[in-house]
């Protein structure tokens, strides 16, 4: 019984990894479970199917109102425009859904967010548009082509060539089972992986307590106030990384991050007060980014 009870814990431990950021900071993370990823994919396709069908119905009603009917020889100019619009919408929706959400600041589709997952770059850097596009371009090869061959090849379609093609596409379909990080072929090409991103209340806690709220260390009494030029060096991505470091509260990581920020902004607060320094920097950086967002300005990362 004890060995069975320990299985979930052991399984989670096997999925733990360390990601090293470009600044040389090692951050712990957990690779997303295969079941969670499959559930997120199903949720995403349900959301996508329902939303596209509803919008398509609305577009068809509009098309009928502007002269589109079964007789395409008598279609009006407005009707032709609606046919093009419907075709473009269907193509963009089914090919752009995953890319659009994964290019967002959370790096996750609605399905992934519901199940606490996100896409991350394996090198610890920013998730780039090139990586997101690359990992999604071969989704048809990994999912739809195997399903098509599974449906038709067992009934004799394609003969020996069809069976060989089915086996080839199944390799792509089951690729996550062939590596310890459960990466798709698209993840290998793009240099990404899917990791757990559980919801936390850290941002609210840090903004209302400790040095994050007052800017003053409870240990040394030092007051940390940063100017706009000093806060402008980082954006939302770095804020999220700093949040994870503060949540994990690992002394070596706190010191490494504090050293990187001090070199970046030209500070030297001294040793032993790294957490208060980072809390103050986090609170003021977060306030600055939120203030800019109210005026329609967003800074995705330090490169923006």
State how far the Cα of 176 lies from the Cα of 142, in Å rounded to an integer.
Answer: 10
Share of the chain above pLDDT 70, in %: 74
pLDDT at 3: 43
In the chain the first and final C-alpha atoms are separated, in Å, by 54
User: Do residues 42 and 99 share a domain?
Assistant: yes
What average pLDDT does the segment 64-75 reach? 58
Q: Does residue 298 lie in a domain region?
A: no
State how far the Cα of 23 lies from the Cα of 35, in Å rounded to an integer.
Answer: 33
pLDDT, tens digit (0-9, with 9 covering 90-100), for 169-225? 788 888 888 888 889 999 999 999 999 886 554 455 555 455 555 556 656 567 788
Residue 161 has pLDDT above 60, yes or no: yes
Higher-confidence residue of 162 and 290: namely 290
User: Do residues 177 and 77 share a domain?
Assistant: yes
In this prediction, residue 1 has a pLDDT band, given cuts at 50, 70 and 90, of very low
Domain boundary among 196, 229, 263: 196
Count Cα neighbours of 235 within 13 Å in the Cβ-side half-sphere. Answer: 12
For residue 265, give every residue at least 6 positions away whose Cβ sits within 8 Å of its Cβ, in sequence order, or none: 226, 230, 233
Q: Does residue 301 lie in a domain region?
A: no
User: Do residues 53 and 191 share a domain?
Assistant: yes
User: Do residues 261 and 122 share a domain?
Assistant: no
Domain boundary among 196, 225, 252: 196
Q: Does residue 296 lie in a domain region?
A: no
User: Do residues 47 and 192 share a domain?
Assistant: yes
User: Do residues 93 and 143 share a domain?
Assistant: yes
Which residue range(s) make up the domain with 226?
202-288
What is the number of residues in the chain? 304
What average pLDDT does the segment 54-59 reach? 85
pLDDT, tens digit (0-9, with 9 covering 90-100), for 236-251? 778 888 888 888 888 8
User: Do residues 66 and 89 share a domain?
Assistant: yes
pLDDT at 202: 47
How many distinct structural domains can be found in the chain?
2
pLDDT at 248: 81
User: Do residues 98 and 69 share a domain?
Assistant: yes
Nearest Cα neighbor of 158 from 149, 169, 171, 167 is: 149
Which of 53-57, 62-66, 264-268 has the highest mean predicted lDDT (pLDDT)?
53-57
User: Do residues 208 and 182 share a domain?
Assistant: no
Give the pTM. 0.64
User: Do residues 102 and 240 share a domain?
Assistant: no
Q: Does residue 67 lie in a domain region?
A: yes
According to the 3-state scheme, what is the secondary structure of the chain? CHHHHCHHHHHHHHCEEEEECCCCCEEEEEECCHHHHHHHHHHHHHHHHHHHHHHHHHHHHHHHHCCCCCCHHHCCHHHHHHHHHHHHHHHHHHHHHHHHHHCCCCCCCHHHHHCCEEEEECCCCCCCHHHHHHHHHCHHHHHHHHHHHHHHHHHCCCHHHHHHHHHHHHHHHCHHHHCCCCCCHHHHHHCEEEEECCCCCHHHHHHHCHHHHHCECCCCCCECCCCHHHHCCCCHHHHHHHHHHHHHCCHHHHHHHHHHHHHHHCCCCCCCCHHHHHHHHHHHHHHHHHHHHHCCCCCCCCCC
pLDDT at 219: 60
User: Do residues 177 and 53 share a domain?
Assistant: yes
State how far the Cα of 127 lies from the Cα of 108, in Å rounded to an integer.
Answer: 11
Q: Are 86 and 175 in contact (CB under 8 A)?
A: no
Q: Does residue 272 lie in a domain region?
A: yes
User: Do residues 119 and 226 share a domain?
Assistant: no
What average pLDDT does the segment 20-42 reach? 82
Q: Does residue 15 lie in a domain region?
A: no
What average pLDDT does the segment 134-149 reach? 84
């Amino acid at each position: 019984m004890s060995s069975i009870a320990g299985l979930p814990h052991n399984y989670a431990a096997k999925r733990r990894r360390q990601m090293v950021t470009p600044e040389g900071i090692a951050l712990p993370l957990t690779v997303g479970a295969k079941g969670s990823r499959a559930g997120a994919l199903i949720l995403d396709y349900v959301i996508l199917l329902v939303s596209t069908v509803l919008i398509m119905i609305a577009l068809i009603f509009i098309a009928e109102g502007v002269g589109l009917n079964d007789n395409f020889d008598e279609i009006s100019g407005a009707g032709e425009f609606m046919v093009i619009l419907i075709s473009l919408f269907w193509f963009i929706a089914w090919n752009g859904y995953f890319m659009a959400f994964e290019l967002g600041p959370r790096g996750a589709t609605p399905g992934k967010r519901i199940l606490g997952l996100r896409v991350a770059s394996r090198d610890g850097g920013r998730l780039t548009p090139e990586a997101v596009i690359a990992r999604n371009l071969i989704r048809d090869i990994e999912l739809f082509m195997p399903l098509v061959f599974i449906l038709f090849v067992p009934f004799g379609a394609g003969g020996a060539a069809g069976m060989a093609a089915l086996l080839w596409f199944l390799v792509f379909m089951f690729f996550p089972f062939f590596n310890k990080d459960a990466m798709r072929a698209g993840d290998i090409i793009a240099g990404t992986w899917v990791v757990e991103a559980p919801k936390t209340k850290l941002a609210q806690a840090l903004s209302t307590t400790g040095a994050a709220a007052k800017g003053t260390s409870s240990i040394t009494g030092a007051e940390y106030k940063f100017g706009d030029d000093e806060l402008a060096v980082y954006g939302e991505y770095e804020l999220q990384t700093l949040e994870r470091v503060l949540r994990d509260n690992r002394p070596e990581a706190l010191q490494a991050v504090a050293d990187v920020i001090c070199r970046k902004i030209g500070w030297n607060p001294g040793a032993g007060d790294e957490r208060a320094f980072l809390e103050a920097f986090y609170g003021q950086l977060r306030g600055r980014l939120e203030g800019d967002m109210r005026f329609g300005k967003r800074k995705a990362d330090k490169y923006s």
